[in-house]
Structure 1
Amino acid sequence: MIHPNAIVDPGARLADDVEVGPFSVIGPDVEIGAGSRIGPHVVVKGPTVLGERTRVFQFASVGEDCQDKKYAGEPTRLVMGDDNVVREGVTLHRGTAQDRGETTIGSRNLFMAYAHVGHDCVIGDDCILANQVTLAGHVTLGDFSILGGLSAVHQFCHFGEHAMAGGGSIITKDTPAYVMINGNPAQVHGLNLVGMRRRGFSNSSLKALGDAYRLVYRQGLTVEQALATIRERYSLPETETFAASIEVSSRGIIR
């Protein structure tokens, strides 16, 4: 299953059925789960953990030292869940000692060609980063996030679950859950209704989220007033997620 022209360090731990293509380099302190396929010309550097059924395409670099100038070779990690797809030329960097010491990626994510995930990022499950999306360090993406091609996210930004960014978006503030954004600088253009319907959100939940969105963005209320009104009117998990994604913002939300 390992091509004779691949280099796999004796300190790497690969499940018995892992495939490694020609000219790939798997370094020490790398763990790769069962059913995974590492294509040709891939570099995986540890400490890195790749879950089961991971697919990495050619010329990707996974678990490399970060680009933060404060990084001085400390032992940091990259940890990925299961069923992730890492396409051509993607770069996924490990964490820094100054933050969490770990870049954490969930399961079932798709990283399209030439996407970049910076140090200490936290990515949930079922996210899509289209071609050449760039995440600076310390970025957090919620579950089911979608970032259109050529989007860029500033360091320390939070991007809420089920939110979507159009192609070429420049994101310098926090994005609440469930919203759609686009532009440079990015602005909010409503809720991600199509995405939520595809994922089975009920009509009553969508109606409540529509009301919550209008309270934040259309009624001229302060953020505090809008959140208080949302919680007075609704006790749904979806509206609480929306409110909480705004409440935790440290950079201010995209308007």
Structure 2
Amino acid sequence: MVDAVDATMSDSEIHPSAIIASGAKIGRGVTIGPWCSVGPDVIIEDGVKLIANVVVDGHTTLGKDSVYYPFSTIGLAPQDLKYKGEPTRCIIGSRTVVREQVTIHRGTESGDGITTVGSDCLLMVNSHIAHDCHLGNRVIIVNNVVLGGHVHIDDDARVMGSAAIHQFVRIGKAALVGGVTGVESDVIPYGSVLGNRARLVGMHWIWLKRNGVQNEELHVLRHVYRTLFPREENQTCVFEERLQAVKDKFGHSDRVQEIIDFIEQPSRRGLVKVGRSISSSEKEG
């Protein structure tokens, strides 16, 4: 890692039109294309590519071999009126790909002070990652998705196009959020939600099957889901009793325990409710 002024000594390719502030740290084999801007507190690790017209500012670290497409902005000030210029941070993991017009804001002092995106993520065109959000590894965010502040998304989750996630929502491991879905509450690990206001409609069976989960475990997860989230007409006991029944019968399963742990963690938003979401047009009809 060298200062920006010595970047040519690190086998990096920096276009003459790029503006690299003094103090920025540039790794080996970095490519910084035309009209990029890199602030003085930025750290760019080995093999990073800024294709063109990328702005990186603040106390921001771009992980090894990550790629940033034109007009993406990373580490700029948060859209939070309480923010007064504190030296908060933004960290992007290795091999993550950030497509055109994505915005990722740094954290706030009143939050965690840091925004993080894990490794091997894909953030598609025009998505927004707000201040103090935390994304795990291998997360996919599709076009036009907006995350409010303080959203937590665990490993392998998928958020489909034009979904909107309310601030402080948690999305569990390998969960699926359908397109054009408004998520106001937490989504359990491996859960699948859909609708104008999100409703839990099942488990993310496709991900589970593609990742080698065997039929016996799928059967267990199906039983757990039906126990925890029966349709209203089938509810014979309160949620706490249903959760205890799942603990007693299936707590030995690692994936079931992940769901239990997620449910038992403190939450500001509660859990997404079960059931088919009804759109406004359906209600009017």
TM (norm. structure 1) is 0.98
Asked if residue 252 in structure 1 is aligned to residue 252 in structure 2, the reply is no
Unaligned runs of 5+ in 2: 1-12, 274-285
Task: Provide the C-alpha distance between the structure 2 equivalents of 1:63 and 1:173, rounded to a whole number of angstroms.
Answer: 27
Helix, strand or coil at the partner of 2:75 = strand
| Correspondence for 2:143 | 131
- Paired letter, 1:254: V
Task: Provide the C-alpha distance between the structure 1 equivalents of 2:46 and 2:185, rounded to a whole number of angstroms.
Answer: 38
Higher deviation after alignment, 168-177 or 242-251: 242-251
| Correspondence for 1:159 | 171
Higher deviation after alignment, 33-42 or 110-119: 33-42
Helix, strand or coil at the partner of 2:14 = coil
Asked if residue 140 in structure 1 is aligned to residue 157 in structure 2, the reply is no
Asked if residue 238 in structure 1 is aligned to residue 255 in structure 2, the reply is yes
Helix, strand or coil at the partner of 1:113 = coil
| Correspondence for 2:128 | 116
Asked if residue 51 in structure 1 is aligned to residue 67 in structure 2, the reply is no
Question: Following TM superposition, by how much is the alpha carbon of 1:16 offset from its aligned partner in structure 2, in angstroms?
Answer: 2.1
Task: Provide the C-alpha distance between the structure 2 equivalents of 1:40 and 1:107, rounded to a whole number of angstroms.
Answer: 22
Asked if residue 100 in structure 1 is aligned to residue 117 in structure 2, the reply is no
Question: Following TM superposition, by how much is the alpha carbon of 1:144 offset from its aligned partner in structure 2, in angstroms?
Answer: 0.6
Helix, strand or coil at the partner of 1:78 = strand
- Paired letter, 2:89: R
Question: Following TM superposition, by how much is the alpha carbon of 1:99 offset from its aligned partner in structure 2, in angstroms?
Answer: 1.2
Task: Provide the C-alpha distance between the structure 2 equivalents of 1:209 and 1:250, rounded to a whole number of angstroms.
Answer: 26
| Correspondence for 2:43 | 31
Task: Provide the C-alpha distance between the structure 1 equivalents of 2:50 and 2:70, rounded to a whole number of angstroms.
Answer: 8
Task: Provide the C-alpha distance between the structure 2 equivalents of 1:226 and 1:193, rounded to a whole number of angstroms.
Answer: 22
Helix, strand or coil at the partner of 1:242 = helix
Task: Provide the C-alpha distance between the structure 1 equivalents of 2:94 and 2:216, rounded to a whole number of angstroms.
Answer: 33
1:120-162: CA deviations, max 9, x gaps? Answer: 0011010100001000000000111100100000000000111
Aligned length: 255
Question: Following TM superposition, by how much is the alpha carbon of 1:250 offset from its aligned partner in structure 2, in angstroms?
Answer: 3.2
Asked if residue 227 in structure 1 is aligned to residue 243 in structure 2, the reply is yes
- Paired letter, 2:270: G
CA radius of gyration, larger in: 2
| Correspondence for 2:3 | none
Question: Following TM superposition, by how much is the alpha carbon of 1:46 offset from its aligned partner in structure 2, in angstroms?
Answer: 1.9
Helix, strand or coil at the partner of 2:74 = strand
1:213-242: CA deviations, max 9, x gaps? Answer: 111111523221122111101111100011
Higher deviation after alignment, 219-228 or 77-86: 219-228
Helix, strand or coil at the partner of 1:189 = strand
- Paired letter, 2:249: R
- Paired letter, 1:252: G
Higher deviation after alignment, 193-202 or 51-60: 193-202
1:174-228: CA deviations, max 9, x gaps? Answer: 1111111111101111111011111122222211111111111115232211221
- Paired letter, 1:238: R
| Correspondence for 1:178 | 190
| Correspondence for 2:280 | none
| RMSD (Å), alpha carbons | 1.0
Question: Following TM superposition, by how much is the alpha carbon of 1:73 offset from its aligned partner in structure 2, in angstroms?
Answer: 0.5
**Which of 170, 180, 184 is 1:168 aligned to?**
180
Higher deviation after alignment, 68-77 or 210-219: 210-219
Unaligned runs of 5+ in 1: none
Helix, strand or coil at the partner of 2:138 = coil
Any conservation in 1 of the 2:162–2:179 contact (CA below 8 Å)? yes
Question: Following TM superposition, by how much is the alpha carbon of 1:244 offset from its aligned partner in structure 2, in angstroms?
Answer: 1.6
Task: Provide the C-alpha distance between the structure 1 equivalents of 2:271 and 2:238, rounded to a whole number of angstroms.
Answer: 12
Higher deviation after alignment, 87-96 or 30-39: 30-39
